[in-house]
Each structure stands twice: as structure tokens, then as C-alpha cells.
Structure 1
Amino acid sequence: MPTTSSTASTSATAQIISTLGAGSGINTSQLAEQLAAAQFATRLDLLTAKNEKLTAQISSASNLKSLMSTLSSSIGSLIRTGDLAVTPSIANASVASVTKGTATGSGSYSLEVTSLANAQKLLTPAYPASTSTVGSGTLTLRFGTVSGSSFTADTAQAAVDITIASGATLADVASAINASNSGVSAYVANGTSGAQLVLKGKEGATSGFVIEATETVGNEGLANLAWTPATNLTRLKTTATDAAYNIDGVGYTSTSNTVNDAVAGVNLKLTGTNVGAPTTITFSDPSGNISTAVTDLVDALNEVAAQLNTATDKTAGDLNNDPGARALRTALITLAGTKVMPNAADGEPSTLGDLGLKVERNGTFTMDADRLAKTLKDSPQAAGAMWTTGVFGVYATVDKIARAASSTSEGASLGSSITRYTALQKTVTEKSTSLSEKQEDMRQRLVSRFAVMDTRVSGSQSTLSFLKAQIDAWNSSDN
């Protein structure tokens, strides 16, 4: 960088000497510009070189940060396709739909559904129209089990009171029930019998309900909507019941048709019965896709490592003494041994090294195919569990490194380095602008001074020419 400054300064000085030695008069405007440039050339050249270096540092740090962010998001996108996860499937899809649960499943299970969970469905007496008034007072919903003509209250569930204002219509009652957050929904059905309320509760035997009415004196009629199984069973269209099913011959019940983790790693949505004809739940083997994913991961990490090695080269690297780059290198060279599954059982894979990732002495990555093959053979489901978007696993580990590199709140991060370099560049730019303004101010002052000098020199030359002419005339007369 000093060589550039010296060259610029020498060039400006040479131009001044050339102008002064022209012998045919002085170009004062050009001279002022050259003198001002010579005064500030060295400092401006140094600032220009500093600005160019900072630009290169910002670019290099930004590229590395972007590579890590892209790698993290790519792993997340790959995982979300589901190709790397152990996923359940069911032989008879009419009995239940299956999705991956919170755990990782393995093996196979038989499922027999003997009955589905139902919600209570109740009709009210018919009215001429949804706008018919129903009286006023309070409707009370009490919850429990309906069995035949009897009702057994569930004391764990609080009763819900619903206020019905004077002048309320059947449609208003439906709105009030829906707004009560009781778990019971209602709507007005305009069928052949007239306008009737249809009330639906939640699934499960204890989610049955009865309706009590307390009427406003003088505005009766609300009692028409009251109901218990002892009064009129014809209005009860569906009774609330539990689901019943067997897994590997063991009986279970559920208040809902949605059953989570009854089988490890499976969420079930029961949709039909298959009494006497059990179906089978099995799990996929993602070994082939995991092997491909590890290969792609090694390639992506090597792309980061190559740029990092170039950026931190001791002689020519833009980030050869950057703390953020050093922090990223440390995170990468320890990646293979990092425990990405801290809750893994003994003998199950827990590090990227278990998936075959190796870090060489020069910071590049290779894949140990034999170790990966052994892991996939011994623990295919556990290997699949490492590829998740949860708080543990390959994605969480790489994402943590990417976030740390992008952070601006940590001292040793690429994000902090970019912030620091950007602030320094702003300072350098401001100094360059200030020096350029001072150079221009000096040029203008020199132009003004040289203009005065030029006027005086011009006057002196006129006087000298006159005197010379007189002397020549005197010499001629003497001759």
C-alpha cells in the first residue's frame, strides 16, 4: 500500500516541476491543482487502500455467513420433505390414518378398532322459523354420561350457564351457545318439520350433556328447549361414546378418535372399525436417503471449508486475523464429535461422527462409509431420528452454528465482524471526504493567491518591457 502512495506523490511533484520549468509562463490553475493534490495524495491513497481492504473483508465475511445460513435452511427443507424420517404406515387405511408422533417408532403392531368415539347430537322441538322467539331466562348445560334414559353427571366438568335475553329468537340461542365456549356447538336446521336447533358436543362418553331451563317470569317458553334422556329419547340422535381398540391384543379406550403415541412414534386418527380383522402398522427404513443426505452434507461443508481456508490464509486471506472466522473454524472442526442427540440411548448414534462425518487436519470433511453403513444397519430408526427440525439433531446443530455466525451480539462472530468493518468503512469514507474537501479548499486558495501573483508579475513585465524599450531608444539615439 505505501508503494501506491509514494507513486502518486512522486507523480504530482513531477508535474509541478515540469510546469515550473516550462519556460513559457506558468499555468497557475494547473499548478494550484497539482500542489493541492501533492499535499493530500499520500493520505488519500492510504484511505483508499484501507477502504478497499474493508470492502473485501465485508464481502468475504458475508459470503461465509450466507453459506452457513443456506446450508442450515437446506437441511431444514430436506428434513421437512419427510424422506429422512422414520415414518409409520398402516395396511388398512380405512381403519385409521397414521402420522409421525413425538417419539421414533420401530417394529410392527397390529391394530383392531372395535368402536369409534362419538359426540352427542341432539335436536330441539321444531319452531315455525329461525326468527321465532323462544322466551327468556337461563339455559344450563350439564355434562356427564348418557346411558339409555339415565344421565350421570361428571363432577369434574363445570356446568355452563347461558343467558337468553328477552325477545331472543331460535337463531339467537344458537349464537349464544356457540359463544359460551362450552364445547357444544349449535346451528338452526330448516328441515321438513320446521326450524330446529342441532346441538353437537365433544367426543367421549363423559361429554354427553343435558339442558336445563330457568325461565323469566312473564316471558316463559324457554323450557321448551330443556332436555334430559328421561323426558324424550327421540330427540337424541347420537350418544356420546368412547373409542375402543386393541393394539397387539391389549385393549384401550379413548375419549377421542385422535390417539397420540399409543404406539411409540405414531399418532392415530381412527376412522373405521375392523372387528376380527386386525391391520398392521409398520415403519419405513430411511437408510438410503440418509446415506445420500450425509454425502450432500459433506460436499456442502467442504464448500464452506474451502472459502474459509482461502479467507483465513495467513499471507493473502481477507479474514486472516478475524475472530468471527476463527470461531466458525472452531465450530466446524469440532462438528463431527459434537453430541447432536444428548438423549440418545446407550449404543445408539448420537454424533455426526456416528453418521460417518470425519474432519481432516486441513479442516476439510470426508465420509467414513463403513461407519455410516454400520450405524444404518444397527440403528436405522435412531439414525433417522437424528434428522429432525426439533431442538436436537443434525439440523439444530448446524442451525446453531449458522445463527452464531450471523449474530451481531456476540464478539466472535462473522455478523459482529461485518458490523465492525462496516463502521470502520464509514469512518474511512468520512475521512476521505474530509480530506477531499480540504484539498479542494487548498486548491481554491492557491488559485486566488496565484491570480494575485500573476497580476503583479504581468504588471512588472509591462513595466520591464517599457523600460527596455526606452533603453533601446536611448541607445539608438546615442548612435
Structure 2
Amino acid sequence: MENQGSSIIQALGAGSGINFTQLASDLSQATFDPQRANINSRNETLTARISAASVLRSTLNDLASALGDRVRNGDLSPSPSLTNPSIADITTTSGVAPQGTYSLEVSQLASGQTLASQSFASGSDLVGAGTLNIRFGTVSGSSFAEDTEQTALAIDVTDTDTLASLASKITGQSDGKLFAYVAEGSNGAQLVIKGDDGATNGFVLEPTGGSGAGGPGDLGYLTWDPASDAGELRQSAQDAIFELDTVEITSSSNTVTGLPEGLTLELRETNVGEPATLTFETNTGAISAVMGDLVAALNDVVGLLAEASSGVGAALTNDQGARELRRDLSGLASRTVMPSASGDEPATLGDLGLKITREGRFEFDSARLDATLTRSPEGAAAMFTAGAFGVFATIDKLARDNTLSTDSGSLGGSVARYQAQIERNDERLADIAEDQERLRNRLTRSFVSAQSRVASSQSTLSFLQQQIDAFSQSN
């Protein structure tokens, strides 16, 4: 849009050789250019500081995250060892360092009930219309005690259903509690139904609506309960029973959780009268490897910090957050990370081989780590957990303390402070733009007024000149 007064200036100043509109714009810009250049320069410096601090923050967070993943992966924890490994598979909870010795004796494995019906000629035989009711509970000898917490099934069976289609209905409508199929063998076709593991997952079959004929083709032919069992029961539902340190424990599943030290057992075989011994072995190779990786990662942080804060003109020279990080790193090796350690148990990162040089770089003292692993392997393993203390908790706290934006003394606080300064500078640049526009408008109006007065003077002079020229000619 053409600014106000420009057409007037062009009309009155024609032929003067001066573009008063451009002159007003140039003068107003020249007035504020030094301030604008100064602020833009400061913003460039602040942006460089934000970038350097953000790289350090990201590196610290990545280090803590990677170490946390390694700890939770479980390979740093002591690995379980069973004298008879065929009895059970054993796993430990990630981030937990189990210790001690246990005895394990398995007297019974958990199993589900299996029924094989009386024989049919083939799987395509019709089973008869009606409703197949299935209730769940505990089968004990010839008795059945219903578990009312489990929902009974009522499966509609039509006059077109075969043994095979009924098997599909049982599997599909039991919500995973039952699996049924047709087995065709030397005795003909039989409906096989298998339930979940656990003593309370037994079941009875109670058809209704049959013709009463009682043979194949009548739904009542599939009736089963323990009192009338004629060999259909092939496997009883039962709980797993085992002793851990002579304490009897039962479980409806062969996968047993909630045990001491975060153990999970996957029971495989029984070993009545021959208890196996469970122990834990510290993975010294994995601990040594992770400490070497930690030293390398910390030196990456040290290098970035030196590049960003050392020397004249460095982005974070005299930055409070950078100074605080340097102090934290210098005391890392001697910091107590296991306050409850006693006796020969390791308590500091230095005990795990972390060493800092006079130049502020880290080194890996493998001899000291080996001595710690020899002296207290369980204590060393306990330092690599996901708890409130230990290696991960220390590095995680280092990262959080130095990246928290609400802490003015951290790198996060530095980033927040520099971003706030840039916002204020941007507001000042907006004010300067407004001030410049006001000055340009004021100069434009002044030039319009001056040019008008010049034009008026030129008109008067032109009239006088005409009169003088006329007078001269008359004489």
C-alpha cells in the first residue's frame, strides 16, 4: 500500500530530483539499524548457547536412558543356576539382583482336565439338538464342587450340528477356557475337550433337550460327571505343588510368579525326594563391559562440555549450568551410590573401576573392578538394579539434576533463561519496528509540509519574475 503523502510529494516536488518518500524511509531505518543489529547479534549468541546446552542435555538423557535399558534387560543381574535344570526354567525380574541359596522340590505339575467322549462312527455324525451346559469347578473322586465365580456355558446345538461343528462351538464360545477337537482312532470318532490348568478348572457336561434315546445322535450321549465316569476322564485338573526351602506352595499354573527375589518358575518335571539347589552367579563379564561403555559415554559428555565451555568465545563460557555439570562430573567417581553397603561391599562408582584423571577425563580401572568382583560379587551385582540406589539411579539423577528447566543452576535452566532472553529481544525488535514506522510517518509529514512551503515560494517568485519581465518590456 502506498504510504500517506507520497503522491503529494511527487506532485509538489516534481523536477526537484529528490524522492522524499525514500528519503524518509532511509532516514528512519538508518536511525534504528544499530539497535536492530545489536539485538540480532545477541540473539545469534543466545541461539548458539541454547544449541550447545541442548546437545549436552540430550547426551546426558540418552546416557541415562541407555543405561536404564541395559539394567532392565537383566543381563547384569545374577543368573539363576539349578543343580537339576530339567526341573524348572528360572527367570528373574529385570533390575533385581537376587542372592542366596534355595532348595526346590516339585511333587506335582499343574494340569487341565481332558475328556474323551464315547465313540461315534465319524466326525460328521449328527449329535442331536438341545443345549450343552458346561459348569466349572473342582472334580475330586466321584464328586464335583462348582466354582460359582466362573461363568457356566450354555451352548445351543441344532439338529444339523455334527461332532466336528460342536467341537468348534465349544472352542469358540468358551472364551479360551476350553479347547475341543475330534480325534478319529481305532475306536471311531471321539470328542476331546481340554480345560485350563488348575484344580478349579475341572468341568462337567450336562446336555438338555435330547430325545432321550441315549445313543449317538442324541445330545444326552455326551453327558459326563465324575460319578458316572466310564473312562471318559483321561486327565484330571490339578494344581502344581512344590516346596521352596521346604515351604509347600500350590499354583494353578506351572508358571509361578510372586516368589522371593523376583523369581519366576516354569515348572517342567517332578523331583520327589531329590530336591534341587538354586543359586545365583554374578555375570562379571557383563558388568565389566557395561562399566567400559559407561566410561566411554561419560568421556563423550566431558568432550562436549570442554568444547562448549572452554576458551574465549565458547558458547557456554561462564555458563552456570556448564559449571555445575563440571562439578558433578568431577565428584562422580567418589560419590556414595549404595549408602547401605557394609563391610567389603562396594559403595562408590570408584569401587566399580570408575576413575577420573587430573585433566577431568574418565578412565576404567579394570583391576579395581576385578578386586571388587572377587571380594563381593553379590554387592557389585546389587549396584546394577532399577532401585533408588546404584549405578543407574546415580546417572539418572545426574541427568535429571542437570537438565531440569526449573532449576536455574542447571543446563535446563540455562536453556530456559536464554530462550526467555530471545523472547524479550524479539519483543524489543517489534517495538523498534513500530518506532521506526512512527518516525518514517513523522518525517514524511515534515517533508510534505516543507515541500509545500517551497512550492508556494516558487510560485510567488515566478509571479514577481513575470511582473518584472513585463515591466522591462514596456520600457
TM-score (norm 1): 0.70
Q: CA deviation at 1:412?
A: 5.0
1:185 equivalenced with 2:178 (yes/no): yes
Cα distance between partner residues in 2 of 1:381 and 1:444: 81
Q: CA deviation at 1:375?
A: 0.9
Cα distance between partner residues in 1 of 2:182 and 2:403: 58
- Correspondence 1:310-459 to 2 at 5 A: 318-319=315-316, 324-325=321-322, 328-329=325-326, 331-341=328-338, 346-358=343-355, 364-389=361-386, 392-408=389-405, 413-447=410-444, 449-451=446-448, 453-454=450-451, 456-457=453-454
Cα distance between partner residues in 2 of 1:475 and 1:400: 102
1:45 equivalenced with 2:37 (yes/no): yes
Q: Deviations over 1:296-324 (max 9, x none)?
A: 32332233244445656697565566665
- Secondary structure of the structure 2 residue equivalent to 1:51: helix
Q: CA deviation at 1:75?
A: 1.9
Cα distance between partner residues in 2 of 1:28 and 1:72: 64
Structure 2: runs of 5 or more not aligned: 1-15
Cα distance between partner residues in 1 of 2:331 and 2:148: 56
Is the CA contact (8 Å cut-off) linking 1:113 and 1:272 kept in structure 2? Answer: yes
Q: Deviations over 1:437-474 (max 9, x none)?
A: 43144335424543553465466568768978998999
The 3 A distance-change label for structure 1 pair 134 and 160 is farther
The 3 A distance-change label for structure 1 pair 445 and 320 is same
Q: Deviations over 1:365-388 (max 9, x none)?
A: 444554323212212343234234
The 3 A distance-change label for structure 1 pair 263 and 440 is closer
Cα distance between partner residues in 2 of 1:131 and 1:58: 78
Q: Of the candidates 170, 176, 185, which is equivalent to residue 174 of structure 1?
A: 170
1:87 equivalenced with 2:83 (yes/no): no
In structure 1, the partner of 2:52 is 60
Is the CA contact (8 Å cut-off) linking 1:51 and 1:425 kept in structure 2? Answer: yes
Q: Of the candidates 158, 162, 165, which is equivalent to residue 152 of structure 2?
A: 162
Cα distance between partner residues in 2 of 1:413 and 1:224: 79
Is the CA contact (8 Å cut-off) linking 2:182 and 2:192 kept in structure 1? Answer: yes
In structure 1, the partner of 2:197 is 202
Q: Counterpart of 2:421 in structure 1: which amino acid?
A: L
Is the CA contact (8 Å cut-off) linking 1:188 and 1:198 kept in structure 2? Answer: yes
1:140 equivalenced with 2:132 (yes/no): no
- Correspondence 1:283-322 to 2 at 5 A: 285-308=282-305, 318-319=315-316
In structure 1, the partner of 2:3 is none
Is the CA contact (8 Å cut-off) linking 1:120 and 1:201 kept in structure 2? Answer: yes
Cα distance between partner residues in 2 of 1:267 and 1:125: 40
- Secondary structure of the structure 2 residue equivalent to 1:234: coil
Q: How many residues are paired up? A: 444
Structure 1: runs of 5 or more not aligned: 1-23
1:234 equivalenced with 2:231 (yes/no): yes
Q: CA deviation at 1:62?
A: 0.9
Cα distance between partner residues in 2 of 1:227 and 1:345: 64
- Secondary structure of the structure 1 residue equivalent to 2:78: coil
Segment of structure 1 superposing worse, 191-200 or 361-370:
361-370
TM-score (norm 2): 0.70
Q: Deviations over 1:122-174 (max 9, x none)?
A: 23456776985553485432215x4xx54585x9x656451526667745862
In structure 2, the partner of 1:97 is 89
- Correspondence 1:204-219 to 2 at 5 A: 206-207=199-200, 209-211=202-204, 213=206
- Secondary structure of the structure 1 residue equivalent to 2:32: helix
Cα distance between partner residues in 1 of 2:342 and 2:221: 62
The 3 A distance-change label for structure 1 pair 379 and 468 is farther
Is the CA contact (8 Å cut-off) linking 1:68 and 1:304 kept in structure 2? Answer: yes
Cα distance between partner residues in 1 of 2:156 and 2:278: 56
Q: Of the candidates 95, 115, 119, which is equivalent to residue 112 of structure 2?
A: 119
Cα distance between partner residues in 1 of 2:138 and 2:457: 118
Cα distance between partner residues in 2 of 1:42 and 1:428: 14
Cα distance between partner residues in 2 of 1:395 and 1:135: 63
Q: CA deviation at 1:347?
A: 3.2
- Secondary structure of the structure 2 residue equivalent to 1:39: helix
- Secondary structure of the structure 2 residue equivalent to 1:336: coil
Is the CA contact (8 Å cut-off) linking 2:99 and 2:280 kept in structure 1? Answer: yes
Cα distance between partner residues in 2 of 1:382 and 1:444: 78
Is the CA contact (8 Å cut-off) linking 2:144 and 2:225 kept in structure 1? Answer: no
In structure 2, the partner of 1:5 is none
Identity of aligned residues (%): 37
Q: Deviations over 1:401-433 (max 9, x none)?
A: 324444445565444543443343233213213
Cα distance between partner residues in 1 of 2:339 and 2:230: 57
Cα distance between partner residues in 2 of 1:197 and 1:164: 18
The 3 A distance-change label for structure 1 pair 272 and 453 is same
